[in-house]
Structure 1
Amino acid sequence: MLADAPERGARARLVEFLVFGAKQAWACVFGALLLLVIVAARLWYPDDAALARNDLLVLAAVAIQVGMLVGRLESGRELWVIVIFHIVGTGMELFKTSVGSWSYEDGGVLHIGAVPLFSGFMYAAVGSYMVRVYRLFDLRFARYPRIWITAVVAAAIYVNFFTHHYVVDVRWVLVLAIVLVYARSVMHFHVFRSTFRMPVLLSFLLVALFIWIAENIGTAAGAWIYPHQEAGWELVPLTKLVAWFLLMMISVVLVTFVYPPKAPSASGTLETRSP
């Protein structure tokens, strides 16, 4: 039982590690279920079924979202942020598929242009993770930048996702902007008995890495493919981490609409460590 866990020593650190992993897994439940359905649909769903695979994925994604709300794993307030993630992501998908950045399997009726509607739920899964991890770990931020500054940078990042196809790509300038804006910001997260610290920039990079891993699973399952994968699946280039790192900035700004960043409690008695 966790209540009987030691407060110090190697066993205490092990308990904190296991609880951290369990909380992270619980925060990822939306994305994990959606990824599981994507893989299962590729492995076992018949290609000639009356209901197209893409439409099945849309219905499954809706069912997962309804289940999250009915099970009170997400609140109505959090749903609004997830809907915004969905809209922002779908807008990007419509443009990116039109310029050939990636493509989806044909078929089904639940789509807009060449974009099946389940694609928006992949962005919603990121939003679900962000709002749930905020609550599960009681996130607090030391020296968090002004919200309006982060919003300006996030807006510039979103615009660049479109404009870099026609004018100069300033993604590295935007990466530098993120580094400058968040250079001094530190995230405090409570696990079990202890509260830990992590640079916000490191958390951006780690989440981007896990999204990249999920992206490789999704493309291997054929949910969508990049041009270099048309002749056969290949690993998504590590350079995509830059895009996901930039996306993290947009994601964090959207979440601040529901959970404005709070400073660590000056009177807190929890033990604070650095990972």
Structure 2
Amino acid sequence: MSRFTSVEARIDAAAHAVLDRLPAGGFYGALVEFLVFGLKQAWACLFGGAMLALIMATRLWWPTDAGLSRYDFLFLAAVAIQAAMLALRLEKPSEARVILIFHVVGTAMEVFKTYAGSWSYPEDSFFRIGAVPLFSGFMYAAVGSYLARVSRIFDMRYSGYPPLWATVLLCAAIYVNFFAHHFTVDIRYGLFAATALLYLTTVVHYRVFRFRHRMPLLLGFLLVSLFIWFAENIGTWSRAWIYPGQHDGWTPVSIQKLGSWYLLMIISFVLVTLVHRPRPVDKPSQPQRL
């Protein structure tokens, strides 16, 4: 239970009080696992979901004559959400550290990428570095927040996990390539291959409610990247940021960007493992609570 915050521990106890009355097997057992899986995923997305909701809401209803710019509101709201999550014990301090790391890493890349013309922010703001409004760093931080929370909430364990030093080298190579490919050869396909080889035999074991399930980690990477790609389409539709082909009107983000998010998500995952070190699978035992 130590992996839960005090609020999560109370939620867990209440859920067991209700759901433990249902059969463990058959249709009802599968339905409980499915329901809890969805609820846990939503809980893990708490920070990112709140930010995405605010981005959509301000796109629809932010007044054009407001004294505070939309981007500055999003930045202040992100800080307030982070403070509230810590104060209400919805998040652990270690997860806040992950958010801070990702804000720094993401903002540094944003400054370079906007200078290179990869994308832009069409609105004005006060809280910014160069052409980059500071709320943007929280969008990267949302990915780190999700990965840190989902790892803890699902009690993720791993078999066949590669050496940590090898994953850190891969992470560094991916990050450098995000900058270097503007000046030299883009080695992303080699990085895709290196990722596949490194994590080929890695399996993630996660507890939903009563039972542990398993999934190839590479498949998990792809599913998370696909979810981020969908979220980016929402972000560009809301004109929180836009790509060069979207100045005259919104068009879906190219599916090729899925590869970029896949590599960025690898960076996110590796940085999270520096805070929450990957744990091996326990020996088989009777099903335990969450």
Task: Give the TM-score normalised by structure 1.
Answer: 0.97
Structure-1 separation of matches of 2:65 and 2:41 = 37
Deviation of 1:79 (Å): 1.5
Q: Which residue of 1 aligns with 2:125?
A: 108
Find 1:82's aligned residue among 86, 92, 99.
99
Deviation of 1:268 (Å): 2.7
Deviation of 1:3 (Å): 1.6
Deviation of 1:106 (Å): 2.8
The letter for the 2-side match of 1:194 is: F
Structure-1 separation of matches of 2:285 and 2:269 = 25
Deviation of 1:68 (Å): 1.2
Deviation of 1:269 (Å): 2.4
Q: How big is each residue's C-alpha offset from its partner over 1:212-267, in whole Å with a ceiling of 9 and x where there is no partner?
A: 00000011011000011112100001111101110121111111111111011014
Judge conservation of contact 2:82–2:96 (CA < 8 Å) in 1: no
Q: Which residue of 1 aligns with 2:77?
A: 60
Deviation of 1:160 (Å): 0.2
More off after superposition, 64-73 vs 92-101? 64-73
Judge conservation of contact 2:225–2:265 (CA < 8 Å) in 1: yes
The letter for the 2-side match of 1:157 is: I
The letter for the 1-side match of 2:127 is: L
SS in 1 for 2:275: coil
> Within the alignment, does 1:188 sit opposite 2:205 as a pair?
yes
Structure-1 separation of matches of 2:76 and 2:168 = 33
Q: Which residue of 2 aligns with 1:96?
A: 113
Find 1:69's aligned residue among 86, 93, 104.
86
What is the correspondence of 1:127-206 to structure 2 with a 5 Å cutoff? 127-206=144-223
Structure-1 separation of matches of 2:55 and 2:279 = 36
4+ residue stretches of structure 1 with deviation over 4 A? none
Judge conservation of contact 2:121–2:241 (CA < 8 Å) in 1: yes
SS in 2 for 1:257: helix
Give aligned pairs, total. 271
State the percentage of identical aligned residues: 57
> Within the alignment, does 1:231 sit opposite 2:251 as a pair?
no
Q: How big is each residue's C-alpha offset from its partner over 1:38-73, in whole Å with a ceiling of 9 and x where there is no partner?
A: 111111011221111111111111111111111112
Structure-2 separation of matches of 1:270 and 1:172 = 41
Structure 2: 5+ residue stretches without partners: 1-17
The letter for the 2-side match of 1:122 is: M
Judge conservation of contact 2:158–2:278 (CA < 8 Å) in 1: yes
Q: Which residue of 1 aligns with 2:5?
A: none
Structure-2 separation of matches of 1:168 and 1:253 = 24
Q: Which residue of 1 aligns with 2:280?
A: 263
RMSD: 1.0
SS in 2 for 1:198: strand
> Within the alignment, does 1:46 sit opposite 2:53 as a pair?
no
Q: How big is each residue's C-alpha offset from its partner over 1:157-186, in whole Å with a ceiling of 9 and x where there is no partner?
A: 000000101100000100000000000000
The letter for the 1-side match of 2:121 is: Y
Structure 1: 5+ residue stretches without partners: none
SS in 1 for 2:81: helix
Q: How big is each residue's C-alpha offset from its partner over 1:184-232, in whole Å with a ceiling of 9 and x where there is no partner?
A: 0000000000110000000000000000000000110110000111121
Q: Which residue of 2 aligns with 1:222?
A: 239
Deviation of 1:78 (Å): 2.2
Deviation of 1:22 (Å): 0.3
The letter for the 1-side match of 2:87 is: V
Q: Which residue of 1 aligns with 2:46?
A: 29
Judge conservation of contact 2:143–2:265 (CA < 8 Å) in 1: no
SS in 1 for 2:221: helix
SS in 2 for 1:93: helix
Structure-1 separation of matches of 2:37 and 2:250 = 33
